[in-house]
Every structure is written in C-alpha cells, then in structure tokens.
Chains A and B, each alone.
Chain A
Amino acid sequence: MILAELTKLRRSALWAVAIVLPVLAVTAGSINYAANQGVLSAGWGSYWSQVVLFYGLFFMSMGVAVLASAAWRMEHRGHNRNLLMSTPARTAAIVGAKIVSLVLVVAVMQAMLLTLVVVVGVFVLDLEGAPPWEYVVVALLGVVAALPVVAVQSLLSMLIRSFTAPVAVGLLGCAIGTGLLYSGQGGVVSHLFPHSLVTSALFLGNGAVADSAGLDLAAVGPIVFAAVVLTTALWALSARLLSQRDLS
C-alpha cells in the first residue's frame, strides 16, 4: 500500500507545498533578521529563531493541512475511494499508508527548510561560523512532532470531501495550539494537542523564543512520547471510521 501511495505522489502538486512553504519561512525570517540587526544579536541563533517563529506557529501545521487535503482530494475525485476500498487491504493499512506518504513529504519539506536556512545563512546573510548541528535534530524532531497533525488532518480530509474545510479547521488548530502554549496552560495539555506539539518541538533550544525548553532528553522525550501516542490513537480512529462509514 505504501508503494502505491508513493506512486500517487509522482508529479503531484503536493511537492509544490513542500517547496513553497520553506521558501516563504526562510524569506520572511531572513528579512526579519536583516531588518532588525539593531535589536537581534548577530549570528545563527537569532537568524534561526526568526525563521522558525512563524514556521513553528503556523506555516508547518498549515502546510500539513494543505498536504493532507490534497492527498485525500485525489481519492475523493473520480471515485478513487471506491477503488481504494475494493482492495484486500485493511482500512488500517489504507490510512497508515496515507499517513506514511504524507510524513515523507513533510520530511522533504523539513529538509528543504534546513537546506535553505544554511544556503541563505552562509551565502546571503554571510553569518559567521558553521551552522549549529542542533538544527538538524530540531528539524527531525519537527517531523516526529508533526505526526499527530498529519494524522488528524488526514482524518479530517478523509471524512470531509471539501478541500478548504479541513484546512480551515487546521488554522483553528494552530490558533488553539498557540493559545495553549502561551496562556499558561502549557505542560501536559499542550503536549496532548497536535498543533502545539509541533510548535514546542520547533522552538526547542531556541533562546530567542520565550518559554522554549532546551534541546535535551527531558524536553525531547515527552514530545516523542506524546507524538507516538496521539498518532496511534488517531490512526486507529481513522481506520475504524473508514471501515464503518458509507462511501457517498
């Protein structure tokens, strides 16, 4: 099923999202960094904080929402869901393959972000020293933390034929996630909410963002644990709903 899903990604518009969003994030972050030299300290840390600020709060989760809507739109169009459901695969495998293929695109999006951060930092902003290796860890952790967002957006897009409605719900999720993180309700509650988990992960080790934790096991462990638990629960729920709901 995963190979079949990967075949569907060929020449798909999903890749445009994986490229455009990091370009927007790095462009906005670079402009912000360059325009605020007086306020920000010079160097990779400040530059990185500007890039991941909006990317962590909105861009990444919204990108996942658009990717999930586009991925399920392929199935809603042309009655491809009938084809999908007429295979011997169990619904858990169908949903699982869709989640895996989406995570692959998200990983490419993260790789694109890292590459652009380094290229712009070195060649455009002329930052001193080598880019810190921690950014690779944060980017990878971002992929893991995005798993529940992928799962929940995939579930919404599977149930709702509209392209925009799940994306709108995703935007609402970003707002709620940010609210949970910065309203003093953080901790366990924010770790149980997919969108705030992404923000928490991308802000790790980011000195420029208030309340961000350090990049250590005490911070990473709960994020990974919460991501695995939430994703498993959402995957199981998706499989059950797909199995029991009528195809209209």
Chain B
Amino acid sequence: MSHVITTEGLTKAYGSRTVVDSLDLRVPEGCVYGFLGPNGSGKSTTMKMLLSLVRPSRGEVSVLGRPMNHRTRHELAALIGSLIEAPPGYGHLTGRENMAIVRRMLGLTERQVERAVATVRLRDHMDKPVRAYSLGMKQRLGIAMALAREPRLLILDEPTNGLDPAGIEEIRDLLKSLADEGVTVMVSSHLLDEVDRMASVLGILGRGRLIFQGTRGELFDRSTPDLVLETPEPERVLDLGLSAVRTHEGLRLSGLGEDETADLVRRLVHHDVPVHGLYRVRRSLEEVFMDLTGREGLS
C-alpha cells in the first residue's frame, strides 16, 4: 500500500514543552484518515507541520512521495487542499470575491471554482459579505477554497465545526465520495462518532504522541471489550476469585482475552454455575478511545 503522507520522528517543541513527539504517520492513498485526539494533543500543530506552515523541531515529512519543507512547500501546494484551525475568508468581501482571490492565487478556472462552490452548496450565498456568514457557511466556504484546486490530498482540521447535523452528514458524504474518487482525505475532529462513520484508517494522538494508528478493526482488537455474564447466582462466580463488577444483568468482567474467556467457561461448567448468557459488550469508538487515552477524553 502506498502512502500519501509519511512522517519519521516528527517532533515539535516550543522551548522545553514538546507538543508533538516523534510521530511516525502513515496515511494510505485514497482513504479517509481520521485524526483523533483530545484538545491540545497536537493535532493542529501536526497538520501545520504536514503543510510546512510550522517547521518541525525534528523529523521529516514526506507528502505525495516528496519531502515537504519550506523549500518545497510551494511546489506541492497546488496538489494539497487544506483547512486549518478556522475557515479563512476576507470578511469585507463577498463569497464570490473570496473565491476570485483563491482562483487568482492558484491560477484556477471559473469552472473549477463553480464546481467547488456547488459541491459545498453555497451557490445561493455567494453575493453576501463573508462577515454576514454563519460559522457553518464560513466552514463551507473554507472547504470550497480547499477543493477548488482539485487536490490529490485534502487536510482538514475540524471541518464540520459549526455545521448543523444535515451539514455534517453532507460533508461526511462529500469526503467519502472524494476518497472514492482517489483523493486522500486527512480529517481531524473532536466528534468521534463523525470520524467513526467516515474514516477507514485512524490515528489517535494523546499528549503529542501517536498512541494508535490503523484500521477501525485493529483499534477494537487493541482494546478488549468487557464480558457480561448473565447469571442468577453472581455470588458463586465471585467465590471463584474472579474480579467482576455487579450489574443489573449479572456480572461485568474486564480484560479477559479469548483464552481467558475459554478458561472462565470451563470453570463455570466445572462448578455448575447457571449461565443465562455470556457476551462481549459492544463498545463505541469513544469508549475505546477513552481507554487508550487513559480516560483523558476529548475536553
């Protein structure tokens, strides 16, 4: 599998404070890569380093097979659409004038701009000044600016901020369809559910370090879900010396892998414990994430 973005030991430190620490990112071509992490975990700084808006303290970035740094940035810029931190836009100008600025800076055609505007469904608002836009409309304009150049790689930092649920769904569908067309999309979000529903590969950042990178399936394998044991006689299970928490269904047991589960079943049968049900808890991505980030959560 070829990678559109690779980093080797990517690090950013401000004085003695390291905000991004030794990242080895691998973003496969044509996927939606969900970049997750609590606020302040270093996502935006990492994305800025990928775009060479911020210089790494250590490490290398390679984008589309070429080194990305302040010398090569302008050569790669035409191939990369981005929206970092907050949507850009000149408030005293209309949406149309803002897109004209992008068209002129990038040497695009009117058709490319119109297609990008149509894609984010902003056509009816292009003659309003951007200062009168809602946050959601600004976000759409920012995405249109990133899309207009028809990029091979899209790097979007929290692109659904400020959008209503219908808008979020639209952007999610848009990003998935772009990936289907071969565009690689790297998207950060604080809404885990949103990333869960569009990303095929995930990278999870905690305190500046990459604590997981892989597919959704691999992520769930990394964190073993709890077992729920439904029994009318939970005391007898606890008497076997098992560590479990009582719930209204019976008992909840943590950290038992496949072999340990098989051993548990053998012991329950051996001691003739009545079992009405034994199953793994379905876990949300958020629960897995909380496990990996040490309950640091997203706030």
Measured CB to CB, the residues of A under 8 A from B are 1, 3-4, 7-8, 10-13, 74, 77-80, 82-90, 243-244, 246-247
Contact = CB atoms under 8 A, between A and B. Distances in A.
Contacts of B107: 88
A13 B93 CA distance: 12
Given A4-B100, A83-B145, 6 more contacts: A7-B97, A8-B90, A74-B90, A79-B88, A86-B82, A89-B74
29 contacts: A1-B104, A4-B100, A4-B101, A4-B104, A4-B105, A7-B100, A7-B104, A13-B92, A77-B91, A78-B87, A78-B90, A78-B91, A82-B48, A82-B53, A82-B82, A82-B84, A82-B85, A85-B51, A85-B53, A86-B51, A86-B53, A86-B80, A87-B74, A87-B77, A87-B105, A88-B75, A88-B77, A89-B105, A247-B48
Interface residues of B, number: 32
A97 B192 CA distance: 42
Contacts of B97: 7, 10
Nearest to A245: B55
B105 A246 contact: no
A8 to B, nearest CB: 6
B88 A80 contact: yes
A237 to B, nearest CB: 16
Contacts of B74: 87-90
From A10, A12, A244, name the one whose CB has the most chain B CB atoms within 10 angstroms.
Answer: A10
Contacts, number: 80
B83 to A, nearest CB: 8
Contacts of A4: 100-101, 104-105
A95 to B, nearest CB: 13
Contacts of A90: 74
Contacts of A74: 90
Contact of A80 (B54, B89, B100): B89
Contacts of A84: 105
Nearest to B49: A246
Contact of A82 (B78, B88, B93): B88
A1 B74 CA distance: 13
B267 interface: no
Nearest to B73: A85
A88 B100 contact: no
Contacts of B77: 86-88
B85 A83 contact: no
